[in-house]
Structures are given as C-alpha cells and as structure tokens.
A = this chain, B = another copy of it.
Amino acid sequence: MTIKYNNVYIEDASTVAGYYESFSPYSKYFDKIYKKDFYFGEKSLEKAETKLFKESIDILLKKCNLKPSDIDVLIGGDLLNQITSSCYGAKDFNISFLGVYTACATTGEEILIASNLLENKDVKRVICTTSSHNLSSEKQFRNPVEYGGPKPMTSTFTATGGASILLTNNKKSIKVESITIGKINDLGVKDANHMGAVMTPAAADTINTHLKDLNRDLSYYDLILTGDLGIFGKEILKEYMSKEYKVKLKSNYNDCGAMLYDLSKQKEITAGGSGPVCSALINYGYILKMMKEKKLSHVLLVPTGALFSPTFLFQKENILSIAYAISLEVV
C-alpha cells in the first residue's frame, strides 16, 4: 500500500547522540552529544534513554521557536518493553500522544501516521520522536553487557540517541511525497545476532512495492537509504533484490547502519549500527541538511525493523521484519 501526499512538509528535526556516536563521520550534524558516560546524570539506563527522547523534543521546539502547546500530536516509539522511554519522555509535554511499535522501523511508521493526521486541516503540527540506548537494549534483548558475552561479526550495535522531526501542513522546502506501508516478512531467520539478514526481505519487499506502485525505477531517487541493515545486511540486500526482484541497487543506494560509525577506527563495532535512532541520526541530521542545501533532491528513506521477541525466540519462532518507504522531495 502506497499513499501519496500533497500537503505534508518537514519543518525541522533534532538529534541527540551518545559516546560511540560522537565518533561518527556524521557527528557534526548532531545537535547534542553526550561524551562522558551512558547515564547522562540519570540513575538507570532506561531513565538515561528517556532523557534522550525528551531532550530531542526540547531541542526541536527551541529550534522552531515553538511551545509544546503549539504541537497537536506527539508520536513516540522505541525498543523498550511498553515503549517506556516514549511514554515517560512524552509525559511532561502534555501533548496528545500516540505510541507505536515497529522496532527500528519506528520513524517510518511515525511519519506515515503523522502525514495522514496532517491531511486533516485541524491538525497543524505533529512531532515524531524515537530513542534507543545501546546498554538498555542489550540488557533487555540479550544480556547486560557486563556479562561480557562475545558477539559474532554480524552483530549490529544499537545506537544511543534521541531524535525528533516536526511535520506540518504549512509549506516548507522539503515535502513528504509518498509513503509505502510495508508488510510483515518472515524469511525463516532465527539469529538475533544477524539483524541485517533478518530485515533484508522486508527492505526488499517494501522498496519493490514502492517502485511498482508508483511506476518508478531506482534512478528516480538521488539516494535510497535503508534503515539499519549494517555492512553485511547491505550486501545481502543487493544480492537479494537482484535475484528476487531483478532490481540492481547501485551507487545511489546506501544503508544508515553501514554509515553511522567509522568502522575503520571503531573496531568494537563490527557490522554497523542499528536501533530506531540509528537511521534517525543519519536522516534527521545529515540527510535533511543535504536536502535543505539542495545537494539532494529526491530521497527514499527505508527504515527497517526486526520484530524480535526474546520470548518467541526461546519458543523457536523466527524473527519477523518490516520496513516502510518514505519519499522526500525538495520543493
């Protein structure tokens, strides 16, 4: 399902990043960086993540010279059980709230819901926010890092950060042109340390559907950017799309997970970044800046999510995946 929009624009966005992300080749595009530790003055990892969620909204409101009461709806989602950092991060703003969960595809789902809300004239401004935290994620989905479990090379590294985007139906220079809502994919992968492989079929299916629905080919876009497949997942996607859909991803394709870290220097990060904020840091920091400067004009963002339930993995179920495709255009 692909929906076209005529009246949805990006007003601005904000990014807050953590220690490992401070070494990113794209770190100069982040609004704020925490370099000291992983707690940011909070008493728990979950509260630290909540702070990133909250701060990205504070920064965005300040950038746009707006108050919380100027925002009609706040959409939040993250990786924690009961999307805790979203709920607790949102509570003090007193804005009508929607909570979503599609793991690392969160920003895609959020922008879709926001865009539909904004087609109604009574809704003027919607903020979409997400966060992730490397240590709160490891603790919840695998083991606390202090346990020292070794990681295979294919493991992606959950990014630490918070990121927000403000969408509006007032005309601005970047437009949400269309969005493809992905389906849940299951290619039979059970390896929680190879999320790139898990998410490949969802990315491929959604990109293919997007191109078919709109009768476009890849060359329509200056850049196609998948969510967080990482360096191995990125190569798997190229091969998979070529074999499965006869679509050849070329130099206008990249992956946010492969881009976020400097893998030549950050040796402890083997396969690249992941987590919902991974693609948000690249997209809301670097990509929007490039679009504002008209260095990119047509961009397809494809946030990918692994719907990974530790409970269901213990029960020998596969890990599912989903992806959304968001077409942005400079107007």
Q: How far is the CA of A320 from the CA of B47 in the complex (A)?
A: 15
- Chain B residues lying within 8 Å of A1, measured Cβ to Cβ, are 72-73, 96, 122-123
Q: How far is the CA of A82 from the CA of B104 in the complex (A)?
A: 12
Taking the closest CB of chain B, its distance from the CB of A312, in whole angstroms, is: 6
- Indicate with 1 or 0, residue by residue over A217-242, a CB within 8 angstroms of chain B CB atoms: 00000000000000000000000000
Q: How far is the CA of A44 from the CA of B311 in the complex (A)?
A: 10
B-contacting residues, A92-111, CB 8 Å:
94-103, 109
The answer, yes or no, to whether A153 is at the interface (CB within 8 Å) is: no
Q: How far is the CA of A95 from the CA of B181 in the complex (A)?
A: 9
User: Interface size bucket, A side?
Assistant: 35 or more
Taking the closest CB of chain B, its distance from the CB of A316, in whole angstroms, is: 9
- Asked whether, in the complex, the Cβ of B116 is within 8 Å of the Cβ of A101, the reply is no
- Chain B residues lying within 8 Å of A185, measured Cβ to Cβ, are 91
Taking the closest CB of chain B, its distance from the CB of A55, in whole angstroms, is: 17
Copies of this chain present in the complex amount to 2
- Asked whether, in the complex, the Cβ of A43 is within 8 Å of the Cβ of B315, the reply is yes
- Asked whether, in the complex, the Cβ of A322 is within 8 Å of the Cβ of B97, the reply is yes
- Chain B residues lying within 8 Å of A87, measured Cβ to Cβ, are 184, 307, 309, 320
- Closest chain B residue to A314 by CB distance? B44
- Asked whether, in the complex, the Cβ of B101 is within 8 Å of the Cβ of A102, the reply is no
- Closest chain B residue to A307 by CB distance? B87
The answer, yes or no, to whether A59 is at the interface (CB within 8 Å) is: no
- Asked whether, in the complex, the Cβ of B112 is within 8 Å of the Cβ of A312, the reply is no
- Asked whether, in the complex, the Cβ of A181 is within 8 Å of the Cβ of B97, the reply is yes
Q: How far is the CA of A87 from the CA of B103 in the complex (A)?
A: 11
Give the contacting residue for A184; candidates B47, B97, B101, B119; CB below 8 A: B97
- Asked whether, in the complex, the Cβ of A47 is within 8 Å of the Cβ of B101, the reply is no
- Chain B residues lying within 8 Å of A122, measured Cβ to Cβ, are 1-4
Give the contacting residue for A113; candidates B97, B116, B322; CB below 8 A: B116
- Asked whether, in the complex, the Cβ of B102 is within 8 Å of the Cβ of A99, the reply is yes
The answer, yes or no, to whether A262 is at the interface (CB within 8 Å) is: no
Q: How far is the CA of A36 from the CA of B185 in the complex (A)?
A: 33
The answer, yes or no, to whether A186 is at the interface (CB within 8 Å) is: yes
The answer, yes or no, to whether A46 is at the interface (CB within 8 Å) is: yes
Taking the closest CB of chain B, its distance from the CB of A197, in whole angstroms, is: 17
Task: Give 5 CB contacts A-B under 8 Å.
Answer: A1-B72, A4-B122, A81-B309, A98-B109, A119-B119
Top-10 shortest CB links A-B? A96-B181, A1-B96, A116-B116, A81-B81, A84-B309, A91-B184, A87-B307, A82-B309, A99-B101, A101-B101
Starting from the known contacts A1-B96, A81-B311, A96-B181, 20 additional A-B residue pairs (CB-CB under 8 Å) come to A1-B73, A1-B122, A3-B120, A46-B309, A46-B315, A82-B307, A84-B311, A90-B184, A91-B184, A91-B186, A91-B320, A94-B183, A95-B183, A97-B184, A97-B322, A98-B181, A99-B102, A116-B117, A119-B119, A119-B120
